[in-house]
């Protein structure tokens, strides 16, 4: 006996109320997705406009800094030129007596010119365009110049600058302008935060592998809680400079 094929089938029916509810939920989800897409596009457009305005503001700032740097640089350069002219017009004896004064004047003027250049460098740092100009330089000479610049403020507070060296060759491949500014800032802060009649010690050492500079003062130091913020931009510690007046 040969069986007949099974031709049965099942029909599933959905209540109209349930179908309408699902269709309503799908429609609502589509509306929410469309609203979210519109809000995202609006926020993206606003961010693009804000970024455009920020770039324009940064460009304006760079132009203003460039003009300011030019306006500051001219009188400082004129002052240095006038000092050099006066020095050449002095007789030999008086020139020898005033040579330390003229040297300090020249170093101070050159440092101000570097600070003016740093106004432009700040914009380059923000945009990632600052170039480090490495060249062979004597770190001992850079340290001596920093000491000379800090000497007048140290004398005002009767602070002694004690320099010690260990080694002979202090030549390294570095950017003398940037490293010179670091040394000046370190030494300037050491004098600023030192009590009167104290000592600021500077140690320069060399090994075949590296060079080291240590600046140590007798000031209050940096609280341990503030050390994590030491190299963050625009951070200031709670320690206060020590007054230079007696």
User: What is the DSSP track for the chain?
Assistant: -PPPP----------HHHHHHHHHHHHHHHHHHHHHHHHHHHHHHHHHHHHHHHHHHHHHHHHHHHHHHHHHHHHHHHHHHHHHHHHHHS-HHHHHHHHHHHHHHHHHHHHHHHHHHHHHHHHHHHHT-PPP--EEEEHHHHHHHHHHHHHHHHHHTT-EEEEEEE-S--EEEE-HHHHHHHHHHHHHHHHHTSPTT-EEEEEEEE-SS-EEEEEE-SS----GGGGGGTTSTT---S--PPP---
Which two structure tokens, joined as six digits, stand for 52?
A: 């455009």
Nearest Cα to Cα of residue 205 among 142, 114, 139: 139
- What are phi and psi for residue 171, nearest 5 degrees? -85, 135
Give the C-alpha separation, 209 to 198, whole Å: 33
Q: What is the pLDDT of residue 160?
A: 92
Instruction: Going residue by residue through the chain, which has 246 residues, state the pLDDT in tens, using 9 for 90 and above.
Output: 445 555 555 555 555 565 677 777 788 888 888 888 888 888 888 888 877 777 777 666 667 766 666 666 667 777 777 777 777 777 777 777 777 777 777 777 777 777 777 666 666 666 666 678 899 999 988 898 888 888 888 888 899 999 888 877 788 899 888 888 889 888 888 998 899 889 999 999 877 778 888 999 988 888 888 888 877 766 676 666 666 555
Q: What are the distances in angstroms from CA 93 to CA 39, 85, 105?
A: 80, 16, 19
- CA torsion angle for 229, 233, 237, 241 (degrees, to 10)? 150
Burial pattern 159-185, b for ≥16 Cβ within 10 A else e, equals bebeeeeeeeebebebebbbbbbebbe
Q: What is the pLDDT of residue 55?
A: 72
Q: Report the residue count for the chain.
A: 246
């Amino acid at each position: 006996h040969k069986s007949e094929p099974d031709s049965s089938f099942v029909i599933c029916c959905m209540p109209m109320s349930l179908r309408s509810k699902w269709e309503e939920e799908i429609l609502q989800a589509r509306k929410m997705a469309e609203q979210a897409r519109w809000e995202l596009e609006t926020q993206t457009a606003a961010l693009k406009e804000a970024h455009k305005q920020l770039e324009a503001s940064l460009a304006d700032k760079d132009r203003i800094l460039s003009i300011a740097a030019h306006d500051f640089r001219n009188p400082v350069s004129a002052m240095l030129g006038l000092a050099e002219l006066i020095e050449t017009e002095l007789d030999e004896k008086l020139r020898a007596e005033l040579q330390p004064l003229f040297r300090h004047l020249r170093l101070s003027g050159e440092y101000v010119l570097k600070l003016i250049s740093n106004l432009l460098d700040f914009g380059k740092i923000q945009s990632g365009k600052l170039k480090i100009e490495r060249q062979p330089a004597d770190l001992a000479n850079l340290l001596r110049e920093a000491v000379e610049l800090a000497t007048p403020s140290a004398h005002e507070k009767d602070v002694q600058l004690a320099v010690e060296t260990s080694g002979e060759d202090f030549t390294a491949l570095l950017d003398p302008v940037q490293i010179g500014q670091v040394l000046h800032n370190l030494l300037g802060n050491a004098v600023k935060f030192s009590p009167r009649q104290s000592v600021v010690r500077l140690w320069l050492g060399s090994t075949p592998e590296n060079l080291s500079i240590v600046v140590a003062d007798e000031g209050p130091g940096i609280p341990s809680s503030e050390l994590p913020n030491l190299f963050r931009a625009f951070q200031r510690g709670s320690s206060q400079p020590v007054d230079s007046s007696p």
